[in-house]
Structure 1
Amino acid sequence: MATRAELRYRDGRIVEPDYLNSVDEVDSLIDELLTGPAHENLAQIIHLDRPLMRPEWPDHELLIGVDRAVNLGVVAFTDSEGSVISAGSPETRAAPVYYLAGHWTELSDQVEIPIDIVRNALKEFLISGGKRPTCVPWKERFPDG
């Protein structure tokens, strides 16, 4: 099974994505998100082995983010079975904000997890062919909607 995935996280690279070509590139991506511009700390990943719902419309989305200020991150996954987000401990921030290519995304309360779990989640996602990672504690992303 291939591990290639489309990657969007930089300003100006939303229409034309970058690519993750192997699991070996995950650590470099996370490190780049940690050290890059604060307005580019969230990435959208689409696994290329999964089917399209219609031309150019994927059947899933994985979001990963890291925030160097708190040394934590977030993972969200959406597919036909629903939308889930990482379940952080009660001590993590309420409504943290992450940025995908300069566009802010406010998240629900207590969703931040250790960065090592974010790294492992992306590796698992790539190896599994785009399945929801099992190493992440999940909760519903939009429980009221």
Structure 2
Amino acid sequence: MSSGKVQAYYRHEHGDNPVVLQGPADVDTLIDDLLASDPSENMAALHSLERPLMPAGVPDHELLVGADGDLQVGVLGFMDDGNFVSFNPAKDRGETSYAIMGSATEFPSASEIPIALVREAVKEFMSSGGKRPTCVEWQEPEYW
């Protein structure tokens, strides 16, 4: 395990070769890449290298990070012992969709947050060893 490192999957070529984020500048590069991406690749799946793997050899958690360059907003989804989605009742344009490698995920209403808060949350995820960020309000979605 490596201190503060996070694996990111968000392009087809990352399926077998994930990007490794090692500090705040790498997080900013990731978010900038997502903001500039086509809607079919505007989300990333992140796994902390500080958390243990489950017996099957897969991570016990996941942070989904989506970014919409046109609106300068994003979404977060966090899974470990439960499923959580970012919550922002002030910004509700209904259900939204973000995609990793062409595979879309629907996010519930009021889940988009300002892009600056997305950046802060991913940096907190990295520095906390893969814990759910506390700088964001969360909701438990009805489906997922």
Structure 1-normalised TM-score? 0.91
Q: How many corresponding residue pairs?
A: 143
Give 3-state SS (helix, strand or coil) of 1:136's partner. coil
Q: Please say if residues 121 and 135 of structure 1, whose CA atoms lie closer than 8 Å, have aligned partners that are also in contact.
A: yes
Q: What is the deviation of 1:33?
A: 0.8
Instruction: In structure 1, list runs of 5 or more residues that go unmatched.
Output: none
Q: Percent sequence identity over matched residues?
A: 41
* Counterpart for residue 110 of structure 1: 110
Instruction: In structure 2, list runs of 5 or more residues that go unmatched.
Output: none
Q: Please say if residues 76 and 83 of structure 1, whose CA atoms lie closer than 8 Å, have aligned partners that are also in contact.
A: yes
CA distance in 2, matches of 1:79, 1:33: 23
Q: Please say if residues 86 and 136 of structure 1, whose CA atoms lie closer than 8 Å, have aligned partners that are also in contact.
A: yes
Q: Please say if residues 3 and 23 of structure 1, whose CA atoms lie closer than 8 Å, have aligned partners that are also in contact.
A: no
Q: For the aligned residues, what is the CA RMSD?
A: 1.6
Letter in 2 for 1:93: R
Matches within 5 A, 1:42-53: 42-53=43-54
CA distance in 2, matches of 1:105, 1:120: 22
CA distance in 2, matches of 1:144, 1:79: 15
* Counterpart for residue 29 of structure 2: 28
Q: What is the deviation of 1:144?
A: 5.7
Structure 2-normalised TM-score? 0.91
Q: Please say if residues 12 and 101 of structure 1, whose CA atoms lie closer than 8 Å, have aligned partners that are also in contact.
A: no
Structure 1 range deviating more: 103-112 or 83-92: 83-92
Deviation track 1:92-144 (CA, whole Å, cap 9, x = no partner) reads 22110101111111111110000011000000000000111000010103x36
* Counterpart for residue 66 of structure 2: 65
